């Protein structure tokens, strides 16, 4: 579709800088954005200029085969898990009516505020041999003292990751279901399809862009995760990356491994785009108001399913965190105010920046795109697949390089050493967030853009609206749920982000995630509950706010 639609808006000289067509404006904007992601990625890919055979042959002959198996299990399991939770729950809360639906509607998004590494340490702390659950079982059932079941295994990791990551699928699927309204579903029903058939054959395919966008985010995060798998001591591909770097101090091999990860994700995304490009979905913009009223056992089952997921993914871990936090309340001091302010302001800045960029990319690609724009989009949305600290080191290396060259030049010209200007500032950190989370914002923005029928734009144009006016008065209002979702996702993701924040934060800019790191890395999980609860609280506000606004 790129190209074919681009002429529809047409050149509109009155609204643009003289001598530039809108196509070129949008394309160059997209390229520029992609470049800012490409630079740190380039540092990673550039690692292939030399290969340290020793690290590779060692990894290949010892741990790599097992890591690949583990990673495959993890990805498969998380894909299945997040789909099985996210899609049905989104359908139930957006299209049906059952007891508790109003609360579950937003409550089911709350687990998103919980970082994976936090749920992981709560889960292992509570469920492992020495935790309260197994201890209680042994006592109550009179089991032998050595009786146990293993939770630090593949299944345990998949469960934790699924509970943390299903909200991506849930949120984006929900936006899609809400956006499509009930008209298509009702048409299908009136043509004789049963409720399940109508769901599978009409509603589900129409929501596919959103579901896939959510799923790819969940899977990329699972692939790039290090914090949660480290709690389980479950070795995935990122383990090899970190081992190369922190163990062998061989950043080069680490970057090479990371770029393999990147390639795999790129291929998956290309395949998905190809597949998706064959289908186009738009809705009539009319949102049905009546919901499908579930009755009797159905209603009860829907309610139980929703509450169970909520309890496991949020209520239980939040309760446990609360208990631990209460015990270490002495740690609470005025510095938490600083931590809160830093956490929230970084999240907001990165959120705004990234959503604007995602809109530019998605709009450029959809209406003014050519091959290079499509390529720019792919590059721009790759950062999420990289482990956070690898991307962060890419940003750090490129910025310090630029800084040093600039300072060299100025020193040569004026004899004054200005020092490192960019790399010690919030800008460095924002660049890393931007590069990492552009994909997160792009998904919801693009999938809501996809559902806006070209006829609406044509109508606006035929009524004499210029290009910017069409964007401002037609697209932005219609995209608002998508833009808000994107902003929320990035805001919360940035607040939870740990490795890039650690590496790139300016002096004094400690966040709650930094505090959690300092305690968990010392094995003080229970004391880490206090900053984790604080993070949860600041994370919850935007989640609840947004859901309420987007829920009608």
Partner 1 sequence: MRYLIAAVLTVTLMVPVTASADEVVVYSARKEHLIKPLFDRFSNETGVEVRYITDKAGPLLQRLKAEGKRTPADVLMTVDAGNLWHAADSGVLAAVDSAVLAANVPANLRDPQGRWFGLSERARTIVYSTERVKPAELTSYEDLASPAWKGRLCLRTSKKVYNQSLVATMIARHGEQKTEEIVRGWVANLAAAPFSNDTKTMEAVAAGQCDVAIVNTYYFGRLQKKDPDIKLALFWPNQDGNGVHINVSGAGVTKHAKNPDAARKLLEWLSSEAAQGDFAGLNMEYPVNPKVARDPLVASWGDFKADALNVNEAGRLQADAIRLMDRAGYR
Q: Which of residues 510-529 bind partner 1 (CB under 8 A)?
A: 510, 514, 518-519, 521-525
CA atoms of 324 and 73, how far apart (whole Å): 32
Interaction of residue 153 with partner 1, rule CB under 8 A: yes
Span interacting with partner 1, options 142-150, 195-203, 264-272, 485-493, rule CB under 8 A = 142-150
Residue with tokens 């990551």: 165
C-beta of 103: minimal distance to partner 1 in Å? 35
**Which residues lie across from 293 on neighbouring strands?**
97
CA distance 457 to 6: 12
Q: Which of residues 324-363 bind partner 1 (CB under 8 A)?
A: 349, 352-353, 356
Cβ distance to partner 1 smaller for residue 322 or 424: 424
Backbone phi, psi, residue 484, to 5°: -65, -45
Task: List Cα–Cα distances, 246 to 52, 59, 253, 502, 519, in angstroms.
Answer: 15, 14, 11, 15, 19
Q: Which of 116, 251, 382, 547 binds partner 1 (CB under 8 A)?
A: 251
Residue with token string 């060299």: 408
Dihedrals phi, psi of 230, to nearest 5 degrees: -70, -35
3-state secondary structure of 96: strand
Residue 250 and residue 52 in contact, taking contact as beta carbons nearer than 8 Å: yes
CB 548 within 8 A of CB 174: no
Residue from 307, 400, 454, 456 binding partner 1 (CB under 8 A): 400
Q: Does 427 help bind partner 1 (rule: CB under 8 A)? A: yes
Closer residue to partner 1 in complex, CB, 257/292: 257
Interface with partner 1 (CB under 8 A), residue total 72
Q: Where does 381-523 have alpha helices with state H?
A: 388-414, 426-450, 454-462, 467-470, 476-496, 499-504, 512-520
Smallest gap from Cβ 212 to partner 1, in A, equals: 29
Is 230 among the residues that bind partner 1 (CB under 8 A)?
Answer: yes
Q: Which is nearer to partner 1, 406 or 551 (CB)?
A: 406
Residue 13 or 506 with smaller CB distance to partner 1: 506
Q: Cβ 256 to partner 1, closest distance in Å?
A: 16
**Comparison of 374 and 406: residue with beta carbon closer to partner 1:** 406
Residue 260 as a binder of partner 1 (CB under 8 A): the answer is no
Which listed residue (128, 221, 450, 497) binds partner 1 by CB under 8 A? 128
Query: Residue 423 interacts with partner 1 (CB under 8 A)?
Result: yes
Is residue 96 within 8 A of residue 305, CB to CB? The reply is no
Query: Which C-beta is closer to partner 1: that of 302 or that of 355?
Result: 355
Question: Residues 26, 377: contact at Cβ < 8 Å?
Answer: no
452-511 binders of partner 1 (CB under 8 A): 499, 502-503, 505-508, 510
Pair of tokens at residue 170: 């849930």
- Binding track, positions 378-397, relative to partner 1; x by CB under 8 A: -----------x--xx--xx
Q: What angle do CA 395, 401, 406 make, to 5 degrees?
A: 125
Is the CB of 95 or the CB of 230 nearer to partner 1?
230
Q: What percent helix, strand, coil does the chain show, rounded to 5? A: 80, 0, 20
DSSP SS3 for 97: strand
Contacts of partner 1 in 429-448 (CB under 8 A): 430
Distance in Å, CB of 93 to partner 1, minimum:
33
**Per-residue x/- mask for partner 1, residues 286 to 325, rule CB under 8 A?**
----------------------------------------
User: What is the chain's Cα-based Rg?
Assistant: 24
Per CB under 8 A, which region of 44-52, 230-238, 279-287, 371-379 contacts partner 1?
230-238
Q: In the set 46, 152, 307, 456, which binds partner 1 (CB under 8 A)?
A: 152
Residue 410 as a binder of partner 1 (CB under 8 A): the answer is: no
Instruction: Check binding of 137 to partner 1 (CB under 8 A).
Output: no
**Residue 334 CB, nearest approach to partner 1 (Å):** 14
Which two three-digit tokens encode residue 408? Answer: 């060299």
- Shortest Cβ distance from residue 503 to partner 1 (Å)? 5
Nearest to 261 by CA among 67, 471, 13: 67
* Closest to 106 measured CA to CA, from 94, 118, 95, 116: 94
CA 212, CA 269: separation in Å to the nearest integer? 10
CA distance 239 to 545: 37
For residues 58 and 189, which CB has a smaller minimum distance to partner 1 in the complex?
58
């Amino acid at each position: 579709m790129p190209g074919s639609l681009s002429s529809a808006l047409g050149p509109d000289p009155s609204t643009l800088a003289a001598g530039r067509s809108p196509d070129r404006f949008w394309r160059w904007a997209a390229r520029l954005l992609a470049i800012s992601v490409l630079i740190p990625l380039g540092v990673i890919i550039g690692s292939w200029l030399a290969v340290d055979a020793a690290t590779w042959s060692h990894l290949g002959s010892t741990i790599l085969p097992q890591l690949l198996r583990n990673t495959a299990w993890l990805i498969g399991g998380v894909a299945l898990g997040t789909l099985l939770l996210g899609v049905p729950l989104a359908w139930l809360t957006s299209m049906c009516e059952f007891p508790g639906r109003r609360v579950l509607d937003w409550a089911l998004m709350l687990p998103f505020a919980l970082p994976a590494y936090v749920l992981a340490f709560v889960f292992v702390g509570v469920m492992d041999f020495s935790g309260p659950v197994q201890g209680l079982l042994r006592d109550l059932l009179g089991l032998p003292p050595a009786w146990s079941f293993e939770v630090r295994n593949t299944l345990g990791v998949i469960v934790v990751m699924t509970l943390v990551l299903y909200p991506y699928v849930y949120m984006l699927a929900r936006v899609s279901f809400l956006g499509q309204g009930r008209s298509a579903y009702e048409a299908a029903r009136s043509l004789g399809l049963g409720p399940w058939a109508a769901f599978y054959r009409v509603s589900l395919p129409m929501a596919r862009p959103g579901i896939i966008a959510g799923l790819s985010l969940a899977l990329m995060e699972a692939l790039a995760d290090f914090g949660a798998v480290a709690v389980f001591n479950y070795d995935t591909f990122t383990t090899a990356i970190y081992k190369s770097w922190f163990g062998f101090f061989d950043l080069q091999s680490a970057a090479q491994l990371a770029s393999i990860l990147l390639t795999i994700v790129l291929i998956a995304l290309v395949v998905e785009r190809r597949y998706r490009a064959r289908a186009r979905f738009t809705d009539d913009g009319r949102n049905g108001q009546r919901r499908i009223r579930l009755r009797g056992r159905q209603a009860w089952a829907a309610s139980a399913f929703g509450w169970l997921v909520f309890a496991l993914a949020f209520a239980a871990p939040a309760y446990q965190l609360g208990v631990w936090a209460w015990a270490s309340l002495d740690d609470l001091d005025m510095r938490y105010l600083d931590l809160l302010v830093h956490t929230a302001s970084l999240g907001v800045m990165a959120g705004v920046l990234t959503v604007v960029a995602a809109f530019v990319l998605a709009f450029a690609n959809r209406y003014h795109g050519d091959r290079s724009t499509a390529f720019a989009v792919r590059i721009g949305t790759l950062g999420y697949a990289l482990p956070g600290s690898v991307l962060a080191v890419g940003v750090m290396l490129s910025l310090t390089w630029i800084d040093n060259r600039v300072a060299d030049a100025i020193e040569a010209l004026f004899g004054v050493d200005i020092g490192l200007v960019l790399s010690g500032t919030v800008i460095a950190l924002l660049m890393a967030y931007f590069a990492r989370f552009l994909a997160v914002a792009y998904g919801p923005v693009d999938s809501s853009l996809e559902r806006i029928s070209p006829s609406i734009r044509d109508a606006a144009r035929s009524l004499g609206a210029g290009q910017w006016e069409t964007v401002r008065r037609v697209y932005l209002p219609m995209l608002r749920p998508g833009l808000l979702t994107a902003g929320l996702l990035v805001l919360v993701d940035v607040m939870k982000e740990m490795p890039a924040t650690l590496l790139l934060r300016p002096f004094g800019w400690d966040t709650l995630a930094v505090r959690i790191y300092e305690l968990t890395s010392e094995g003080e999980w229970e004391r880490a509950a206090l900053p984790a609860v604080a993070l949860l609280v600041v994370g919850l506000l935007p989640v609840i706010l947004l859901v309420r606004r987007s829920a009608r």
